[in-house]
Amino acid sequence: MEKEKLMELARQAGKRAYAPYSHFPVGAALLSKSGRVYLGCNVENASYGATNCAERTAVYKAISEGETAFEAIAIAGQNAKTCAPCGICRQVLREFCVPAEFLVYLEDGRGGIWTRHLEELLPLSFGPEQLRDTWED
């Protein structure tokens, strides 16, 4: 799928965000290896710790429907401002992808799209393979 199409889906998802506190809606469109796209938006809560980001909403939605392998995600912030995933979202994405292969598309604030690999956004990451040795004991 073209990154422009994925970004447009992320923008549409952001329109459904529940952001009464930050007033900063975010949308995400997550592309699975099967070709299916899962949309997510941020959902805020008066108890801020219960808030969920758009990226994690998309991942959890996909996981709940049986997908566990992903190729790319597009993230759209309010007014086309660059909106990179937070640290928790980067770690959640890391759980289900190969960081050197997984693409992250971000609006550049001028109508363009930046493309980064998750490895660039989360260097020296910790993933499931670090725990495999302990599973075999």
Catalytic residue positions, numbered: 55
Residue 12: both structure tokens together: 């549409």
Cβ atoms of residues 105 and 6 within 8 Å: yes
Nearest to 16 by CA among 50, 36, 42, 45: 42
Dist CA 76 CA 41 (whole Å): 10
3 state SS of 39 = strand
